[in-house]
A and B are shown apart, each in its own frame.
Chain A
Amino acid sequence: DQQVKQNSPSLSVQEGRISILNCDYTNSMFDYFLWYKKYPAEGPTFLISISSIKDKNEDGRFTVFLNKSAKHLSLHIVPSQPGDSAVYFCAASPPLSGNTPLVFGKGTRLSVIA
């Protein structure tokens, strides 16, 4: 049973426009949420995160929004650039006890078209 779901396998956006990637989760005990970006033949790289006590975190062109009541988070990229084309994974952290492994979604492939 998937605890972290990314229901859109792919997304295409024009350069300069906003990209919105969505993620839903089922476990209300998740404490932290992270987004990773993955290029082909490379490992995922940490992009941005948010604690469950916040509803927004911004870092440059990237903003993550968290709606706890809906168990939903989203990653906004504004403006989108061709170099943003990659697979984006949403991940959630169970309540911290040691280094409990992150739970990942299946990813969304973003294509930014010039």
Chain B
Amino acid sequence: GAGVSQSPSNKVTEKGKDVELRCDPISGHTALYWYRQSLGQGLEFLIYFQGNSAPDKSGLPSDRFSAERTGGSVSTLTIQRTQQEDSAVYLCASNQQGPLVLYGYTFGSGTRLTVV
């Protein structure tokens, strides 16, 4: 597609339930990143993929968080047994190979997750 697509755009879930967030990157972009922005905070790195591999998972806050990417394209971020502190906007970004300073990342519009 023309841009990075994320779904759903909004998700309200009950504490303790599992949620899945989806990201469709720009076609041909090999690198895919997940960040989240909690209220009053900056963009917190969660995980990134190069192809289907995740070289850096260091940002995942706990073992309740996991992510996968299939076919070098779509990625799914799963949060198990959601807690209220998981409430945030989850942003996905992708970028093409090449000088980062020229291209930056292209972000999706995010999924606003609210855990009640």
Contact = CB atoms under 8 A, between A and B. Distances in A.
A79 to B, nearest CB: 24
B8 to A, nearest CB: 13
Contact of B43 (A42, A89, A98): A89
15 contacts: A34-B104, A46-B103, A46-B104, A89-B43, A91-B43, A93-B100, A98-B50, A98-B55, A99-B48, A99-B50, A99-B95, A101-B33, A101-B45, A106-B41, A107-B42
B85 to A, nearest CB: 17
B93 A43 contact: yes
B56 interface: yes
A106 B56 CA distance: 21
Interface in B19-43: 30-31, 33, 35, 40-43
Contacts of A85: none
Interface residues on A, range: 20 to 34
Contacts of A41: 109
Interface in A33-82: 34, 36, 41-46, 49-51
Interface of A: 4, 6, 32, 34, 36, 41-46, 49-51, 89, 91, 93, 96, 98-107
Interface in B84-109: 91, 93, 95, 100-109
